[in-house]
Amino acid sequence: MAILPNLENVPLLPGGLSSSLHPSLRPDSFTRKRLLKICKIIWKASPLMPLLVVLPIAMIVTLMDLNGVLIFTTNAIVCAVLSVVLGKCTEDLSEHVGSTLASVLNATLGNVIELIVSYYALKAGQFDVVKSSMMGSIFSNLLLVTGCCFLFGGYNRIQQTFNITAAQTMSSLMAISCASLAIPTVFVATLPKSMNEQTDILKISRFTAIVLLIVYVLFMVFQLKTHIKFFDNSEANALVAKSAEEAEEFEDNLLGKKECCIILALTTYLVSKSADQIVERINDVAATGLSKSFIALILIPIIGNAAEHVTSIFVAMNDKMDLALNISIGSSIQIALFCTPLLVVIGWIIGQPMTLQFTVLEVITLFISIFLNGYLVADGESNWLEGCLGVALYLLISIAFFFYPDVSA
C-alpha cells in the first residue's frame, strides 16, 4: 500500500512564493498603506486640519471635567475641524452616486454640525439657543461668508460676475423664509397681553414648518430637474479636472464609498459627543459675561460653518463666483427652509414645544440682511467694496447681540 505524503506543511504556491511576496503586496501592508493614504487625503482637505491635534486635548479635559470654558473651547475647535472631514467625505461620496442623490446628501449633511448641536439644545429644552443658532447661521452665510467671497475674490479684480437668475431665485427663497419666521413673532407681539397665545403659536409654527419643508422640496425639484441649467455649474467641473494629469490627481485624492461611509459614521459620532459638551457648557461660558444670545447667534454658527467659510473664500479667489454663492447663499436656504423647520418637527416628535417665535431684534436684522444680500446680487456682478458692506453689517449685528441681554435676564 502506498503511503500518502504529509501535505500539512506543503506550501500552496511553489518555491514558497506565498512567503516571498513583495511586502507592499501583503494584505496587512496594503491595509497600512491605504490607512496612511486616507489620513494624507483628509489632512490635505483644508488648512484647518492641523487643529485636529486639539481632539485628544478635548477628550482629556472633558474626561477630567476641568474648566467649563476650556471644555467648551476645545470641543468647539474639534467640531470646526470635524466639519472639514464631514465636508470632504460628503463631496467624495457624492462622486460615487447619482447627481440627485448627491444633492440630497449635500442638503442633509451640509449643515450637520448645526443640526447636531441644535438637537442637543432642543433635547435639553434650550429653545432660545436652538433658534439663535439657526438665525446666526443664516446671518453668517448671507453676510460674513458672501461678503468675504466678494472681498477676497475681488480685491485684485475690477469686478466678478455670476449667474443672476440663480442668485435672484435664492434671494427670493430667503425672502419667503424671512416672512415665515416673522409671522409667528408678529402674531405674538400683536396679541393682547391677557391672552394665552402659547397653544396657538405652537400650532402656527408646526404648520409653517410643514409648508417650509414642502417649499424646500419644490426648490430641490426646481434646482435638479426643471431648471437645472441655471444651477448646473460647469465651473465646478473645471475645478475638478482640466487635464489628464489633474484628473488623475483628483482620482488619487478621492475616498472610496465604503471609506466615506465609515469615516462619516465615526466623525458624526465624535461631533455628537463634542456637541453635547458644547451645549452643556454654554452656561459656563455665559458666566464669563457673554450672553447666551451672542454665544448661540455668533460663536456656534462660526464653529459649524468654518469649513464652508474657508472653502467658499478659496473658490471665490479662483473667480468661481457661481460655486461660491451656491455654497454661501445655498447654505442659508438649507438652514431657513430645511434645518429650522425640521427641528420644529423633531421637537414635535420628541415632545419639545419648539416654535418659530423669534425676538423682534432677530427678525428685524434678518430682514435687513436679506434686503442687503438681495441688493448685492441683483445685478449679477460683485466687487470688493460690496463685500466690505456685507462684512460691516455682520459686525454691526454682532455688536448689537454682544450687548443684548438674555431673555431670562
pLDDT tens-digit map of 105-134: 665 666 788 888 889 999 988 898 899 999
Least confident of 55-64, 227-236, 382-391: 227-236
Please measure the distance between the N-terminal and C-terminal CA atoms of the chain and give it in whole angstroms: 99
Amino acid at residue number 46: S
Of 359, 304, 247, 260, the residue nearest 116 (C-alpha): 304
The CB density around residue 168, as the number of other CB atoms within 10 Å, is 15
Supply the Cα-derived Rg of the chain in whole angstroms: 25
The helix-helix angle for 127-139 and 321-334 (nearest 10°) equals 160
What gap in Å lies between CA 407 and CA 132, rounded to an integer?
Answer: 12
Torsion of CA 220, 224, 230, 235, to 10 degrees: 110
Average pLDDT, the chain: 80
What gap in Å lies between CA 52 and CA 58, rounded to an integer?
Answer: 10
pLDDT in tens, 278-333: 888 888 888 888 888 898 899 888 887 777 787 788 888 888 888 888 888 888 88
240's CB contacts (< 8 A; 6+ apart) are 246, 247, 250
- Provide the pLDDT for residue 240: 43
pLDDT in tens, 184-241: 888 887 776 655 556 678 888 999 999 999 998 888 888 777 777 766 654 444 444 4
**If pLDDT is split at 50, 70 and 90, which confidence band does 259 have?**
confident
- Provide the pLDDT for residue 15: 47
Taking the CA of residue 230 as centre, how many other CA atoms within 13 Å lie in the half-sphere pointing to its CB?
17
Q: Is the dihedral of CA 301, 305, 309, 315 positive or negative?
A: negative
Q: Is the dihedral of CA 382, 216, 309, 366 positive or negative?
A: positive
302's CB contacts (< 8 A; 6+ apart) are 140, 144, 309
Cell numbers describing residue 261: 461611509
- What mean pLDDT do residues 20-24 have? 47
- What mean pLDDT do residues 149-156 have? 89
Higher pLDDT, 167 or 105: 167
Least confident of 6-15, 24-33, 132-141, 178-187: 6-15
What gap in Å lies between CA 310 and CA 318, rounded to an integer?
Answer: 13
- Provide the pLDDT for residue 366: 92
**If pLDDT is split at 50, 70 and 90, which confidence band does 18 have?**
very low
What gap in Å lies between CA 409 and CA 396, rounded to an integer?
Answer: 22
Higher pLDDT, 46 or 134: 134
Core vs surface per residue 261-287: b (16+ CB within 10 A) or e? eebbeebbebbebbbbbbbbbbeebbe
- Provide the pLDDT for residue 239: 45
Whether 122 and 354 have beta carbons less than 8 Å apart is answered as yes
Whether 147 and 389 have beta carbons less than 8 Å apart is answered as yes
Higher pLDDT, 90 or 276: 276
Helix locations, 44-109, DSSP H: 54-63, 68-95, 99-109
Of 107, 234, 212, the residue nearest 166 (C-alpha): 234
What gap in Å lies between CA 250 and CA 237, rounded to an integer?
Answer: 11
Of 89, 82, 33, 143, the residue nearest 304 (C-alpha): 82
Residue 52 has pLDDT above 90, yes or no: no
- Provide the pLDDT for residue 248: 57
What gap in Å lies between CA 274 and CA 287, rounded to an integer?
Answer: 20
Of 356, 343, 302, 6, the residue nearest 178 (C-alpha): 356
Q: Across-strand partners of 404?
A: none
pLDDT in tens, 330-377: 888 889 999 999 999 999 999 999 999 898 899 999 999 999 988 888
Helix (H, G, I), strand (E, B) or coil at 382: strand
